[in-house]
């Protein structure tokens, strides 16, 4: 293994290395929650609110503890443009970047898995009842 600048190289014992989390792993954990009920403030495993679902999935899939609320999840992580959006990234909704009220996990093709009044479902990120504010990438997914 060599550092970024190429000035130092050496060996690392393979058990110290941890493979990155893939988008397929994140989506797999999210899909396991489809059909579960919605409950405001719920963080799983039997029911969820939107940010509780996101937090639960990322903890299970990537061993990453995300902030608890949709606003904090938006504020805490690297924002990405719509052209850079990847499966497993987070999608945020609200009235502005300072008033995020909902989030979900992007699954591709303009859809997300989220927890809302109808429970944990897959739906369009351009549904008329959501005002899309932005995207973030809490971890780099492979």
pLDDT digits over 19-42, tens only? 578 999 999 999 999 999 999 999
Active site residue 79: no
pLDDT confidence of 141, banded at 50, 70, 90?
Answer: confident
Helix axes 50-62 and 23-32, enclosed angle (nearest 10)? 130
pLDDT confidence of 17, banded at 50, 70, 90?
Answer: very low
Whole-prediction pTM: 0.86
Answer yes or no: is 1 within a domain: no
Phi then psi for residue 109, to 5 deg, are 55, 35
**Is 95's pLDDT higher than 60?**
yes
**Strands of 111-116's sheet in order across:** 78-80, 132-137, 90-96, 99-108, 111-116, 119-124
Other beta carbons within 10 Å of 72: 14
Active site residue 102: yes
Answer yes or no: is 66 within a domain: yes
Answer yes or no: is 9 within a domain: no
Domain coverage including residue 90: 19-137
Q: Say which CATH number the domain at 62 has.
A: 3.90.1720.10
Task: Report, as an integer, the average pLDDT of 77-106.
Answer: 96
What's the pLDDT tens digit per position in 40-74?
999 999 999 999 999 999 999 999 999 999 999 99
Per the structure, the count of domains in the chain is: 1
Catalytic residue among 49, 89, 102, 103: 102
Catalytic residue among 49, 50, 89, 103: 50
Residue 136's pLDDT is 96
Answer yes or no: is 84 within a domain: yes
pLDDT confidence of 117, banded at 50, 70, 90?
Answer: very high
Catalytic residue among 49, 89, 103, 114: 114
Answer yes or no: is 131 within a domain: yes
Task: Report, as an integer, the average pLDDT of 122-141.
Answer: 93
Answer yes or no: is 41 within a domain: yes
Answer yes or no: is 12 within a domain: no
């Amino acid at each position: 293994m060599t550092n970024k600048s190429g000035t130092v190289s050496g060996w690392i014992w393979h058990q110290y290395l941890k493979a990155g989390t893939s988008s397929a792993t994140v989506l797999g954990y999210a899909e396991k929650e489809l059909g579960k009920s919605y409950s405001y403030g719920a963080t799983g495993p039997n029911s969820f609110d939107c940010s509780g679902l996101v937090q639960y999935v990322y903890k299970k899939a990537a061993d990453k503890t995300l902030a608890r609320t949709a606003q904090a999840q938006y504020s805490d992580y690297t924002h990405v443009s719509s052209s850079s959006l990847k499966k497993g990234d987070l999608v945020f909704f609200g009235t502005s970047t300072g008033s995020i009220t909902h989030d979900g996990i992007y699954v591709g093709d303009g859809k997300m898995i989220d927890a809302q009044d109808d429970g944990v479902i897959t739906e369009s990120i351009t549904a008329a009842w959501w005002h899309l504010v932005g995207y973030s990438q809490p971890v780099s997914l492979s």
